[in-house]
Structures are given as C-alpha cells and as structure tokens.
Structure 1
Amino acid sequence: MKKRQRKVRLIRAAIQLVFFIFYPALFSTAFAGVKSVFQAIAAHQQITWNSFLDITGLLLLVTILFGRHFCGYACAFGSLGDAMYELTVFIRQKVFHKKGRHGYPEKAVRILQKVKYILLAFLLLSILTGWYASLQGMSPWDVFSMLTARKLPNVSYKIGIILLVLILIGMCTQERFFCQFLCPMGAVFAMMPILPSALFNRNREKCPSKCGLCRKRCPAHLEIDGDTPLSGECICCHACQVTCPRKNIQIGPKIKNQTNEKKN
C-alpha cells in the first residue's frame, strides 16, 4: 500500500509542478472571469465574453464533468499549500519526532469551510456596490501572482503581503488550509453540480470493521459516498483512494452490493 501511495504522490506532485511553473495564475484568472460578470452587472452593461471567461468556463465545465481535480492537481496556490504542509510534516517527524499528520478537529474544519462562501459573497457584494476598487492592494493572490511572474509587489500591496504570509502560516497548520477555508473560487467550484460519475464511492460492506482510514486521511474529513451533501468540498486529492487497504474506493458510479446480488 505504501508503494501505491508513494506512486500516486509522485504523479500528483509532477503534475502540480508543471502547472505551478507554466500556469500559476489559472485560479486568479478564473476568478477574474467571475469578477468581470459582476462588474458588468454593477455598471448596468451587457455581459460580454472575454478571455477571463474562457478560463472560468473551461474550469467550471471540467469541475462538473470530473470533479474538483483542478483544485487537487492544477491550482498553483493549492500546490503551494501542499508543499508547505508536507514540509511541516517532515520537520515534525524528523526534528520533533512526532508521527502522523496534524490538522484541526473535524468540527473546526466543518465551521471554517463556510468562511470561503462568506468571503465570496463579500467580494461579489463589494463589486456590485463599487467598493471593490478600495480593496486594491489587499489581495494575497494578487501578490502571489506577482511573485510567480517574478515581480516584486510595491508598498501599496503591504496588506496583501501580510495576508499572504498569514495564509502561508495557516498552510503549515492544516492540509489545504486556503483551498478549504478561504478560496473564493473554491467556493464557486464547491457549489457546482458535479456528475455522479465524477464522485468517489465505496462499498461499505467491504470496509473492515472500525477502519475509517479514508475519513481520517481526507483533509476535509468527508464521508466517501457520492450522495453526501458535502461532496462539493472534495478536492480530488485521491488520498482516500490510495489509503484504503482493500482498494475499495473508486471514482464512478456507486459500487453495487455484490453480496446482495449473490443472495438474490
């Protein structure tokens, strides 16, 4: 099982590195598409298609068809979060001799996951009211985009720089801290209707008694069932799938109950 976990981690890390190097601004470009729609509404103008909406539309379509694999594999900010968290895990194990993975209690994760929806609503409302312009320099993802483009943000971005540093600290304390709790585009993705064929499913009857490894390993503490109301929070990191000792988790239609079929 460890060999399988290592293989999946390496493949995922390689894909993340490619997107981080060549397409680091995809997630901010996608949100720029959402922003352009609300700016047109605020200005009482006709919504016109633009290059930002090309990216937004493509990523929304990918999410509907395949789940939030963009979040799990292609988002540069998410990849940065993974790197920060894994570095912290390594330091804890090698320096402080603490085993296992750290993070917040499930109840706290559930509450904090709602913050990104509040943040999304706040940003969209600020656009509609014309207040968004006064937020310039406060965006941590704008600062991140500048840094990945090899541009140093000037003093007008000091609040954005401070917020980015605080987010980086948060990334060290909880796996996918920004993606789960603060990403406004993540909130949009989480609200998308995802096709059942793109969700993780398992056959509970094949699960070992009192196992729960998939839930413990999931950074969002999700139950691995396609009909869960929290399925939108799944970032498709595949951690549950590679952790399952019986390979009992798959993406696709719900696994049929083989036991009941044999009885019938």
Structure 2
Amino acid sequence: MKKRQRKVRLIRAAIQLAFFIFYPALFSTAFAGVKSIFQAIAAHQQIAWNSFLDVTGLLLLVTILFGRHFCGYACAFGSLGDAMYELTVFIRQKVFHKKGRHGYPEKAVRILQKVKYILLAFLLLSILTGWYASLQGMSPWDVFSMLTARKLPNASYKIGIILLVLILIGMCTQERFFCQFLCPMGAVFAMMPILPSALFNRNREKCPSKCGLCRKRCPAHLEIDGDTPLSGECICCHACQVTCPRKNIQIGPVKEREMVKE
C-alpha cells in the first residue's frame, strides 16, 4: 500500500509542479472574473464577458462535473500550501522525531472552515460599496501573483506581504490551511452543486471495524459518504482513497459501481 501511496503522491506532485510553473495565476484570474461581475453591478453597468470570466466559467464547470480537482491539483497557492506542510512534517519527523501528521482538532477545523465564506462576503460587499479600492496593497494574493511573475512588490504592499507571511506560517500548522480557511474562491467552489458521479464514496459494509483511516487522513476530516452537507469542502486530493487499506473508496455512487461489477 505504501508503494501505491508514494506513486499517487509523486504523480500529484508532478501535476502540481507543472501548474505552479506554467499557470501560477489561475486562482487569482478566476477570482478576478467573480470580481468583474460585482464591479459591473456596483457601477450599474451591463456585465461584459471577458477573459477572466472565461477562466472562472471553465473552472466552475470543471468543479460541477468533476469536483474540486482544480484545488487539489492545479491551484498554485494550494500547491504551495502542500509544500510548506510536507516540509514541516519532514522537519518534525527528522529533527524532532515526531510521528504522524499534525493539524488542528476537528472541531476547530469545522469552525475555521466558515471563515472563508465570511471573507468572500466581505470582499464582495467591499466591491459593491466601492470600498475595495482602499484595500489596494493589502492582498496577499496580489503579492503572491507578483512573486510568481518574478516581480518584487513595492512598499505599498507592506500589509499584503505581512499577510502572505502569516498565511505561509499557517500552512505549516495545518494541511491545506489557506484552502480550507481563507480562500474566497474555495468558498465559491464549495458552494457549487457537484454531480454525484464526481463525489467520493465508500461501501461502509466493506469497511473494517473501527478503522476511520480515511477520515483521519482527510485534511478536512470529512466523512467519505458522497453528497453530504460538507462534501463541498473536499478538495479532491485523493488522500482518503490511497490510504484505504481495502481500496474501498471510489469516485461515484456505490450502487452504480456494484452494478457494473455484477
């Protein structure tokens, strides 16, 4: 099983690295599309389709059809979070001899997951009220975009730089810290109606008694039961799937899979 886990991790890491190098701005571009809609509404103008909305629309469609695989595989900021967290795990194991993967208690995760919705509402409200312009220089995402474009942010981005550093520290403390707790685009993705064929499911009858490895390994501490109130929080990292000792987790409804096997 460890060999299979290593193989999946390497494939995922390779895909993440490719997107990080060639398409690091997909996240900010997608949110720029959302922002353009609310800017048009605030200005009482007709919403004009633009290149930002091309990316936003495509990613929303992909999310509905296939789940949040963009978050799990293609988002540069999410990939950075994975790298920071895995580096911290490595240091804890090699230097401090700490076993296992660290993170916040499930109750804290559930509470913090709501923060991204509050942040999304705040940003959209600031756009509608015209206050968004005053936030110039405070965006950690703008700073990240500049850095990936090999541009150094100037002094006007001091607050944005500080916030980015704090987010990087948070990434070391909890797997997918930013994606789960602070990503406004993640909040949008989480609210999308994902097709049942794109949701992770398990056949509980085949699960070992008192196992729970999938939930323990899931960064969001999710129950792997398809369409649930929290299924939108799944970032499709496939950690649950490769961790299951009985290969009992698949994408798509359990009944359909059983019918195919029969």
Q: Under a length normalisation based on structure 1, what TM-score does the superposition of the two structures give?
A: 0.96
Q: Following the alignment from structure 2 to structure 1, what is the Cα–Cα distance between the partners of residues 135 and 260?
A: 62
Partner residue of 1:38? 38
Q: Secondary structure at the match of 1:16?
A: helix
CA 1:150–1:98 in 2, change beyond 3 Å: closer, same or farther? same
SS of alignment partner, residue 98 of structure 2? coil
Tell me: CA distance 1:204–1:132, structure 2 relative to 1, closer, same or farther (3 Å).
same
Runs (4+) of structure 1 exceeding 6 A deviation are 257-264
Quick one: distance in 2 between partners of 1:160 and 1:261?
Answer: 53
* Cα distance between partner residues in 1 of 2:110 and 2:5: 26
Aligned to 2:40, the other structure's residue is in SS state helix
Q: Give distance in 2, aligned partners of 1:260 and 1:71.
A: 29
What is the CA-CA distance between 1:210 and the residue it aligns to?
0.2
Distance 1:13 1:263 in 2: 31
Counterpart for residue 207 of structure 1: 207
Rounded Cα–Cα distance in structure 2 between residues aligned with 1:5 and 1:146:
34
What corresponds to 1:260 in structure 2? Answer: 258
CA distance change for structure 1 residues 258 and 79 in 2, over 3 Å: closer, same or farther? closer
The superposition leaves residues 113-144 of structure 1 with CA deviations (integer Å, 9 ceiling, x where unpaired) of 00000000000000000000000000001000
Measured after TM superposition, the shift of residue 263 of structure 1 is 17
Q: How many residues are aligned here?
A: 261
* Alpha-carbon distance in 2 for matches of 1:228, 1:12: 25
Note the 1:107-256 alignment, pairs <5 A.
107-253=107-253
Query: What's the offset of the Cα at 1:227?
Result: 2.4
- How far is 1:252 from its partner? 1.3
Deviation at 1:259, TM superposition (A): 14
Whole-Å Cα distance in 1 between the matches of residues 132 and 249 of structure 2? Answer: 43
Structure 2 length as normaliser, TM-score? 0.97
1:20 alignment partner in structure 2: 20
For residues 194 and 118 of structure 1, the distance between their equivalents in structure 2, rounded to whole angstroms, comes to 22
Residues 211-244 of structure 1 deviation map (CA, whole Å, 9 limit, x = unaligned) = 0000000000000011211000000000000000
**For the structure 1 residues 258 and 43, does the alpha-carbon distance in structure 2 shift closer, same or farther, using more than 3 Å as the test?**
closer
Alpha carbons of structure 1 residues 167 and 258: separation in structure 2 relative to 1, 3 Å = closer
Root-mean-square deviation over aligned CA pairs: 2.1
| 1:93–1:35 Cα change, 3 Å | same
- Name the SS for the 1:237 alignment partner: coil
C-alpha distance in structure 1 between counterparts of 2:114 and 2:87, whole Å: 27
Corresponding residue for 1:97? 97
For residues 48 and 258 of structure 1, what CA distance do their matches in structure 2 show? 42
Report the Cα distance in structure 2 between the residues aligned to 1:222 and 1:144, rounded to whole angstroms.
29
Aligned-partner SS, 1:162:
helix
Stretches of structure 2 lacking an aligned partner (at least 5 in a row): none
Deviation of 1:262 after TM superposition, in Å, equals 15
Q: Which residue of 2 aligns with 1:88?
A: 88
Shift of 1:261: 9.7
Structure 2 distance, partners of 1:24, 1:263, is: 40
CA–CA separation in structure 2 for the residues paired with 1:57 and 1:203: 33
- Distance in 2 of aligned mates of 1:26 and 1:50: 15
Structure 1 residues 47 and 245, CA, compared in 2 at 3 Å: closer, same or farther? Answer: same
The runs of 5 or more residues in structure 1 that have no matched partner are: none
* Residues 175 and 260 (structure 1), Cα distance of their counterparts in 2 relative to 1, 3 Å cut: closer
